[in-house]
Chain A
Amino acid sequence: EDQVTQSPEALRLQEGESSSLNCSYTVSGLRGLFWYRQDPGKGPEFLFTLYSAGEEKEKERLKATLTKKESFLHITAPKPEDSATYLCAVRGSGNTGKLIFGQGTTLQVKP
């Protein structure tokens, strides 16, 4: 069964304190790993898609990496506005487009 586990559940950082969020996955035939950001009361906002081990993508202070078993979202010198819940999802084999989400990591960055 396809499964996604994110850790830690919650993370508190001081502004400027870099860290990483983990997403471990089990999926038959990975057809994409996705990172989204969700603010309270809003819908998930797309950040990155990764397709194969070794792939990396960057956007401002965020960098996503992918191995055969997990993905990391690295946050460099975070700011308070980076505070949000970060969601990881995978799409497996089959032609349905169905995404399997992890529980998310709630990040709080204090000034």
Chain B
Amino acid sequence: NAGVMQNPRHLVRRRGQEARLRCSPMKGHSHVYWYRQLPEEGLKFMVYLQKENIIDESGMPKERFSAEFPKEGPSILRIQQVVRGDSAAYFCASSQGVTDTQYFGPGTRLTVL
């Protein structure tokens, strides 16, 4: 019984490189959410996706960040040209429907050198 899976668990990038974070939702879940937790801050919503569609990206920075949830495969959060301020824990959550409980993955901890 797999919960929400995220990989990698830890990712180190140098400034200017690209970071790709993957999220596989729980079985039967078609709604995926990405949140970011900066050091000493709370969880902040970034983006909400359903299969092949971005529903709400109001929390995502306008530049360098993008997300997708293709018909096949995991959801991907992509950060281009990373900067030190991108260092954070990125969590993915999934739900069966938009009004249902969101279950979180273990997170990817991104460190930008």
Give me the interface of A with B, judged by CB distance under 8 Å.
31-32, 34, 36, 42-46, 49, 87, 89, 91, 95-104
Q: Which of A32, A44, A87, A96 contacts B55 (CB 8 A)?
A: A96
A-contact bits for B92-107, CB 8 A (1 contact / 0 none)? 0001001101111111
CB of B113 within 8 Å of the partner chain: no
CB of B63 within 8 Å of the partner chain: no
* Total residue contacts A-B, CB cutoff 8 A: 63
List residues of chain B with CB within 8 A of the CB of A103: 41-42
Do A95 and B98 touch (CB < 8 A)? yes
Size of B's binding interface in residues, CB under 8 A: 26
CB of B56 within 8 Å of the partner chain: yes
Q: How far apart are B102's CB and chain A's nearest CB, in angstroms?
A: 6
Q: A31-B99, A43-B91 are in contact. List 13 more A-B contacts (CB 8 A).
A: A36-B104, A43-B6, A44-B91, A44-B104, A46-B101, A46-B102, A46-B103, A87-B43, A95-B98, A99-B33, A101-B35, A101-B43, A104-B42
Do A97 and B31 touch (CB < 8 A)? yes
Do B105 and A43 touch (CB < 8 A)? yes
Do B104 and A102 touch (CB < 8 A)? no
Nearest B-chain residue to A102, judged by Cβ: B42
Q: How far apart are B94's CB and chain A's nearest CB, in angstroms?
A: 10
Nearest A-chain residue to B104, judged by Cβ: A43
Q: Which of A44, A96, A104 contacts B48 (CB 8 A)?
A: A96
CB of B65 within 8 Å of the partner chain: no
